[in-house]
Amino acid sequence: MLNGTNFKEWKRHVLIVLGCMDIDLALRQEQPAPLTADSTPDAKRDFERWHRSNRMSLMIMKHIIPEAFRGTESEEITQAKSFLDDLEQRFAKNDKVEMTSLLNSLISMKYKGQGNIREYIMEMFHIASKLKALKIELSKDLLVLMVLVSLPAQFSQFKISYNCQKEKWTLNELISHCVQEEDRLKRDKTESAHLASASKDKGKKRIYQNEAAKGPAQKKQERVPINCYFCEKPGHLKKDCTKYHAWRAKKGLPELPKAK
């Protein structure tokens, strides 16, 4: 249904439908001359075909547009081609505005590594084809470079490789190489993730094996080191410290039993 912003798509759809129904003759050929007594059977047949095509095409087009879009002047038009031309003039976009919008879309496009790179490149080509219809044609070499520039950082080596070679890619070659490169990057990422996971699991297993190898007896033998609270040296307790006993004697304190 025509909504005021989709005239080009609506017109393309209408032409396809009328063509499939074989009633688009009035849109392709001018109205034949009126019949006379001398008109041949072929002329009469062509006259009838054209008028039937015109009548059916006009009815269908009026049926599939909102009544508010028809207007008083459109209702007075009796030829399907003139009716379609009138609609086109009414809903035609400003070419300069459309050019600017399409160029901004094309220049700002960036592939983020998500989705399908083939579809992404085809979308850029589609925008370029719309610009071509507006008399702005981008060369194939420029379009290839624009696609490469829009690729993310992980494609850096891929872009350097292209810049270093003498041969230039066609658009189909560009798509093929980009798809292959994206597949390679995905494989490398998957393999790196597997290696990191395997290395982590191996480290945990080694620690567990070392702990298990010690056994209860070895763990029991591992003591917490002791320190003397008097001289602060390791290996003995305060009650066994010779310096502590000497200090007590100097102070006139009762002698403690020495360590055996």
pLDDT in single tens digits along all 260 residues of the chain = 777 677 888 899 999 999 999 999 999 999 999 999 988 999 999 999 999 999 999 999 988 888 777 766 667 889 999 999 988 888 776 678 888 989 999 999 999 888 899 999 999 999 999 899 888 999 999 999 999 999 999 999 999 999 998 899 999 999 999 999 999 988 887 766 666 666 666 666 666 666 666 555 555 555 667 778 778 888 787 778 888 788 777 766 666 665 55
Last residue of a domain, one of 41, 73, 91: 91
Q: Which long-range contacts (CB under 8 A, 24 or more apart) does 256-259 make?
A: none
Dihedral of the alpha carbons of 11, 16, 20, 26, in degrees to the nearest 10: 40
**Domain assignment present for 136:** yes
Distance CA 52, CA 47 (A): 9
| 86/100 same-domain check | no
Identity at 122, one-letter amino acid code: M
Last residue of a domain, which of 134, 161, 185?
185
CB atoms within 10 A of CB 26: 24
Model pLDDT, residue 24:
94
For the beta carbon of residue 147, count every other beta carbon within 10 angstroms.
21
Tell me how far apart the alpha carbons of residues 99 and 112 are, in angstroms, rounded to a whole number. Answer: 25
Residue 190 lies in a domain: no
Question: Based on the domain organization, do 14 and 69 belong to the same domain?
Answer: yes
Would residue 203 count as lying in a domain?
Answer: no
Give domain status of residue 1, yes or no: no
Specify whether 85 is located in the same domain as 129: no
State the amino acid at position 170 in one-letter form.
T
* pLDDT for res 209: 64
Instruction: Count H helices and E strands in the chain, helices first.
Output: 11, 0
H helix or E strand, kind and range, residue 158: helix 156-164
Verify that 14 and 73 share a domain, yes or no.
yes
Pair 99, 178 in one domain: yes
Residue for token pair 């393309």: 12
214 vs 208, 211, 223, 225, CA distance in Å?
10, 6, 14, 19
Asked whether the beta carbons of 226 and 215 are under 8 A apart, the reply is no
Where does a domain end: 132, 160, 185? 185
User: Is 218 inside a domain boundary?
Assistant: no
Which residues does 228 contact at the CB level (< 8 Å), separation at least 6?
234, 235, 236, 237, 238, 240, 241, 244
Assigned domain for 74 exists: yes
- Of 64, 61, 182, the C-alpha closest to 121 is 182
Same-domain status, 47 and 80: yes
Number of domains in the chain: 3
pLDDT at residue number 56 = 95
Does one domain contain both 34 and 86? Answer: yes
* Same domain assignment for residues 181 and 99: yes
At residue 73, the pLDDT reads: 62
Do both 23 and 63 map to the same domain?
Answer: yes
| DSSP line for 20-51 | HTT--HHHHSPPPPPP-TT--HHHHHHHHHHH
DSSP state at residue 59: H
SS3 content of the chain, % helix, strand, coil (to 5): 70, 0, 30
Q: Which domain holds residue 258?
A: 223-260
On whether residue 204 sits in a domain, the answer given is no
Domain-embedded: residue 216: no
